[in-house]
Amino acid sequence: MTGKAQQLRELIESGEHFIAADAYSALTGKIVEKVGFKAAYLGGHACSAFHYAMPDYGVYSQVEQLEQASRIAEAMSIPLIADADTLGETVADAFHFTRRYVRSEIAGYHVEDNRNPRHSAYAGDLVPVEEMQAKLDACARARGDSPFVIIARCDELYPKSYRGAGDGNLEAAIARGRAYVECGADVLLYPLASPEACATLVAELPVPVCVLGPVVPGTAFALHTGWGMIGAAKQHLAFARELMETGSVTFDHVFPEKDELLEMDLYDDIIRDWAARTGRDTR
């Protein structure tokens, strides 16, 4: 069987645009696979919020992200891309955690050039290009001969007004992208890049360009997150309020896909076989 990292690499190299859809748990990973997506994505905000009730400020660690990402990847046959945030604070962190990602069933990650505590009240800036290059070099060395996909995330076009750290300079974004490719990046990710900026990035850069959010024509793929975790949390909050206020919850219990997603028939068959072999009753 082809490994998931190789699957992802071949999907990217095919030139076929795809969406890596929000998968913040093992069950939601199986759901996006069932719907027909060819890849899934675990965002840092989705993971930190859903599993740890923490903001995505660099507070929770790559140990925690790896724990959840590994569970999701194991539950699916499609490749999972993980948000690796800054991949720790040093090149040693980057090397160590990359080896752990490669040894898992996770197909690839993206590592960003922001500075912790990023996306927070701290109005930070991007790390120097040379520092990001050193980190990516450590990632590439840790990957070795594995087909694991390294996506370098450049936040130059992610403005400070949106809790980013970039200045919105397209030429600087291109220069950073080229520098990151020199050190082993297979793909470049530019959050909040406009369709016009994406067209320039695709034309100027030597590797595929992807985006975070809605599909942008001409890019290689989109990492689409947030809607699953936020939708589930909002629905849970509404049901909890209804239960507190009325003593009951009105919702449709029927979920016909549940048995298939949980492989209940497979486990029932195994249990029936065990029961028949050992003279036990079955339902």
| C-alpha span between 113 and 61 (Å, rounded) | 17
**Could you tell me the CATH number of the domain that includes residue 68?**
3.20.20.60
Q: Tell me, yes or no, whether 186 and 277 share the same domain.
A: no
Q: Tell me, yes or no, whether 87 and 227 share the same domain.
A: yes
Reported confidence tier of residue 65, pLDDT bands at 50, 70, 90: very high
Q: Tell me, yes or no, whether 221 and 282 share the same domain.
A: no
pLDDT tens-digit readout, 238-256: 999 999 999 999 998 899 9
pLDDT of residue 101: 97
Is position 166 within any domain?
yes
Q: Tell me, yes or no, whether 39 and 142 share the same domain.
A: yes
For the beta carbon of residue 38, count every other beta carbon within 10 angstroms.
Answer: 18
Is position 240 within any domain?
no
Q: Rounded mean pLDDT of 180-189?
A: 98
Do you find a cis peptide bond into 79, omega within 30 degrees of 0? no
pLDDT tens-digit readout, 268-277: 999 999 999 9
pLDDT of residue 161: 80
What's the CA angle centered on 215, arms 220 and 217, to 5 degrees? 60
Q: Tell me, yes or no, whether 89 and 119 share the same domain.
A: yes
Strands 108-112 and 39-42: unpaired
Full domain range(s) for residue 272:
252-283
Residue 1 pLDDT > 80, yes or no?
Answer: no
Q: Tell me, yes or no, whether 170 and 281 share the same domain.
A: no
Residue 105 pLDDT > 80, yes or no?
Answer: yes
pLDDT tens-digit readout, 119-165: 788 878 899 999 999 999 999 999 999 999 999 999 999 988 878 78
pLDDT of residue 163: 82
Residue 41 contacts residue 81 (beta carbons within 8 Å): yes
Q: Tell me, yes or no, whether 279 and 197 share the same domain.
A: no
Q: Tell me, yes or no, whether 258 and 226 share the same domain.
A: no
Is position 247 within any domain?
no
Residue 39 contacts residue 81 (beta carbons within 8 Å): yes
pLDDT of residue 2: 73
Report the candidate in 7, 9, 6 with the shortest Cα–Cα distance to residue 220. Answer: 9
Report the candidate in 209, 255, 232, 237 with the shortest Cα–Cα distance to residue 23. Answer: 232
Q: Tell me, yes or no, whether 141 and 279 share the same domain.
A: no
Residue 187 pLDDT > 60, yes or no?
Answer: yes
Averaged confidence pLDDT in the chain? 95
pLDDT of residue 51: 92
Is position 244 within any domain?
no
How many folded domains does the chain comprise?
A: 2
Q: Tell me, yes or no, whether 58 and 92 share the same domain.
A: yes
Q: Tell me, yes or no, whether 165 and 281 share the same domain.
A: no
pLDDT of residue 267: 96
Is position 237 within any domain?
no
Is position 183 within any domain?
yes
- Residue carrying structure tokens 């990492």: 223
Report the candidate in 167, 129, 135 with the shortest Cα–Cα distance to residue 150. Answer: 135
- Asked which of 159-163, 201-205, 213-217, 218-222 is least confident by mean pLDDT, the reply is 159-163
Cβ-based neighbours of 46, under 8 Å, separated by 6 or more = 22, 24, 225, 226, 228, 229
Q: What global pTM score does this model have?
A: 0.95
Is position 245 within any domain?
no
Q: Tell me, yes or no, whether 8 and 101 share the same domain.
A: yes
pLDDT of residue 60: 86
Reported confidence tier of residue 234, pLDDT bands at 50, 70, 90: very high
Reported confidence tier of residue 116, pLDDT bands at 50, 70, 90: confident
Q: Rounded mean pLDDT of 52-68?
A: 91
